Amino acid sequence: MKSFRNLLLTLTFLIFCQASGIGQVLGDGIVGHVEGEIVLMSDVQIASFQLQEAYPQQSKEDLECMALDNLLMQKIFVIQAERDSVYVSDEEVDQELDGRIAYFEEMFGGLENLESYYGKTITELKADFREDIFDQLLSTRMEASVTAGISVSPSEVRSFYQAIPEDSIPFFNAEVELAEVVFYEKPTAEQNQVARNTAEDLYARLQEGEDFEFLALVYSCDPGSSKSGGDLGFIRRGQMVSAFESAAFRLKNPMEISPVVETEFGFHIIQLIERQGERIHVRHVLICPEMTDENLNTARREANRIRDKVLDGSITFAYAVDEYSMDMSTKNQGGLLQNPKTGNSFFEMDEVEGVIAVRLDNVEIGGYSEVISTQGYRGERGYRFIQLVSETEAHQASLDQDYSKFKAVCLEQKKQKVLYDWMETIIPSIYIDVVPDYQRCPQMKNWKVYE
């Protein structure tokens, strides 16, 4: 259980391991059930491969046992979240999914290389991983609800630090923490109306019998699906944003076409190709409002205006994040940027993007950069300004200088104890089945496994 927070999203496992060639040697098959949820052999093997970095001395068998333990826990969080009506929004799923895709785009050297490696469009890859991302976020939210309100006192942190053997006190490289307020370009009402009119015109042409695939190829602004005639493949409920999904699942007959549907992406026309139980195969045409440099200039002016208000004390940085920032992934963290490599908010200086590093030259702790151009995960253009939240030199860790880090670890240990106690009350109400080969794992004593 203690290693659960070391797991990255399932998307991270899959892409990282397959990129390393590991996915080509994995077997598959069901190794466990948690109520109606299944755990696959490939899930266990991929997760254990990732855990190897954190636990290099552990054997392959021990790592697989740890991975299975974590995966069972995640399934239980998801099941209990559904029982308790814990909610994750479409927007949160999209933000997390876009962030992971963007990270791996960079790792593969661009969008085309990523699509080429998998033989799938970005739209298809997102559809493949959307359900996993949803479950991961739901699991995380359920975990957070169980541990809400837990805190540690200064004396608890001090006792935790003093219990660390002297030769085990870590050494930290120079690090910074950064926070941002982001302003993306937005379409005007007139631009939105032009896009809607274009979509309505295409809908009329489709009603008159024009070819859907051809119109998607020519007009759709979805780069992932347009070149394949708008084909999105099979989707299940929960994989798409709610407005799109609602319209798509209302379609009953093959080749039936929806009226124009508006989402945060633009204006869609959806065609049902095939229905298989709870899955539907659809294609779409997406018409996006056409932005101009004036939209971008408006974002820049707004970024400068809000930065000036922060500088003159009219508003606080926290208020600017909460009221104005348009990047949900950092907005929900008070603007704090997260290091994708570590999952925390600390960056070593060589991990900070060059433009940002230059703009932070001579900025004191608590100060702000000039307004900097940026781009969102979906390609949105915009501007942001960045706060230098903290900065430390390379040093041997100490309680005075690194109190917040030791507090975080101490708090995490306390939360893990609470989670363990909570699990003991939940497990008896959940059916868990593990194949005999894994029942030998010492962690399985934590679960009520039915043989």
CA distances (Å), origin 342, targets 11, 112, 426: 16, 26, 31
Q: What percent of the chain has pLDDT over 70?
A: 91
Q: In sequence order, what are the residues at sequence separation of 6 or more whose Cβ sits closer than 8 angstroms to the Cβ of residue 344?
A: 338, 408
Q: Which residue has the higher pLDDT, 289 or 3?
A: 289
Tokens standing for residue 164:
């660390």
- Taking the alpha carbons at both ends of the chain, their separation in whole angstroms is 22
Mean per-residue pLDDT of the chain: 84
Summarize pLDDT for 6-55 with one digit per residue, the tens.
333 333 444 434 333 333 334 458 888 888 788 888 888 888 887 876 77
Q: Which residue has the higher pLDDT, 105 or 440?
A: 440
pLDDT average, residue stretch 389-393:
89
Helix (H) or strand (E) holding 340: none
* pLDDT beyond 80 at 107: no
C-alpha gyration radius of the chain: 24
- In this prediction the pTM is 0.57
Residue 348 has a pLDDT of 86
Highest mean pLDDT among 252-261, 273-282, 422-431: 252-261
pLDDT average, residue stretch 100-124:
76
Confidence of residue 449 (pLDDT cuts 50, 70, 90): low
Count of positions (residues) in the chain:
451
Give residue 45's identity as a one-letter amino acid code. Q
Q: What is the DSSP string of 246-312?
A: HHHHH--STT-B---EEETTEEEEEEEEEEETTEEEEEEEEEPPPP-HHHHHHHHHHHHHHHHHHHT
Strand, coil or helix: 445: helix
pLDDT average, residue stretch 158-173:
91
Among residues 71, 58, 97, which one has the least CA distance to residue 328? 97
Residue 26 has a pLDDT of 41
- The lowest-confidence range among 9-23, 33-47, 230-244, 430-444 is 9-23
Q: In sequence order, what are the residues at sequence separation of 6 or more whose Cβ sits closer than 8 angstroms to the Cβ of residue 197?
A: none
* pLDDT beyond 50 at 165: yes
Give residue 325's identity as a one-letter amino acid code. S
* pLDDT beyond 70 at 281: yes
Residue 219 has a pLDDT of 95
- The lowest-confidence range among 94-98, 263-267, 276-280 is 94-98
Residue 2 has a pLDDT of 37
Residue 326 has a pLDDT of 92
114 close to 218: Cβ distance less than 8 angstroms: no
Phi and psi torsions of 437, nearest 5°? -60, -30
State the Cα–Cα distance between residues 389 and 306, nearest whole angstrom. 18
Q: What percent of the chain has pLDDT over 90?
A: 38
130 close to 238: Cβ distance less than 8 angstroms: yes
Summarize pLDDT for 329-376 with one digit per residue, the tens.
888 889 999 887 777 788 887 888 777 877 888 899 999 999 999 988
Residue 448 has a pLDDT of 61
Tokens standing for residue 31:
């190794």
Confidence of residue 4 (pLDDT cuts 50, 70, 90): very low
* pLDDT beyond 90 at 268: yes
State the Cα–Cα distance between residues 397 and 278, nearest whole angstrom. 54
Confidence of residue 69 (pLDDT cuts 50, 70, 90): confident
Q: Which residue has the higher pLDDT, 225 or 13?
A: 225
Residue 83 has a pLDDT of 85
Which domains does the chain show, CATH number per domain? 4-153+405-446 (1.10.4030), 172-185+292-396 (3.10.50.40), 189-287 (3.10.50.40)
Q: Which residue has the higher pLDDT, 21 or 293?
A: 293
Confidence of residue 378 (pLDDT cuts 50, 70, 90): low
